[in-house]
Amino acid sequence: MFTFKTTVKPEWIDYNGHMQDAYYGLVFSYAVDAMQDEVGFDAEYRARTGCTIYLLEDHKFYLREVKEADNLRIETRILNCDEKRFHLHMQMRNGDDLAAVGEFMELHVRQKPTPQAAPIPDEILQRLQSATLSSVDAAELKHRSRSMTIARNSRST
């Protein structure tokens, strides 16, 4: 599990007095950035290789209100990965309360000459694979989105 922490900023609060839905996505995105850096997709890697990560699909569940100055902890787990993609399950916690859950499908991309899916380097892929939850542990996660999987076929994205 990878962990990211942040505090809800005043500008993230909407007219209802809680964090606007768009900022849940921002916080989840910051947590993905932190996880990517931890496994090796950091700034040095991006500059050296011209590769990065693109978001393909996401699903979010909003479970509890989050207010200004709340301290959030985002726990990121890897559900699956293949040679070009990885599937994340993220839980946003406000203290002991589960505030939101998101699932994200990410794609490794070589940006030049035009963006195109590219294989994840072996050493990073091994880190992702070693952090991947077992199917039993993944099945126990609550608030799963509709089916989001890495389809295995002869022609990958």
Boundaries of every domain in the chain:
2-136
Q: Are 151 and 108 within 8 A, CB to CB?
A: no
Question: Which residue is associated with the tokens 């809680």?
Answer: 18
Say what the pLDDT of residue 43 is. 97
Q: What is the tens place of the pLDDT at every residue in 71-86?
A: 999 999 999 999 999 9
CA distances from 154 to 19, 75, 82, 126, 157 (A): 43, 33, 13, 22, 10
CA distances from 11 to 22, 46, 63 (A): 12, 30, 21
E strand or H helix at 5: strand 2-7
Q: Is the pLDDT of residue 17 over 60?
A: yes
Q: Are 59 and 146 within 8 A, CB to CB?
A: yes
The count of other CB atoms within 10 Å of the CB of residue 139 is 9
Mean pLDDT (the chain) is 93
Q: What CATH class does 2-136 carry?
A: alpha beta
State the Cα–Cα distance between residues 99 and 133, nearest whole angstrom.
22
Q: What is the tens place of the pLDDT at every residue in 33-60?
A: 999 999 999 999 999 999 999 999 999 9
Q: Is the pLDDT of residue 143 over 80?
A: no
- The share of the chain scoring above pLDDT 70, in percent, equals 93
User: How sure is the predictor about 15, in pLDDT bands with cuts at 50, 70 and 90?
Assistant: very high
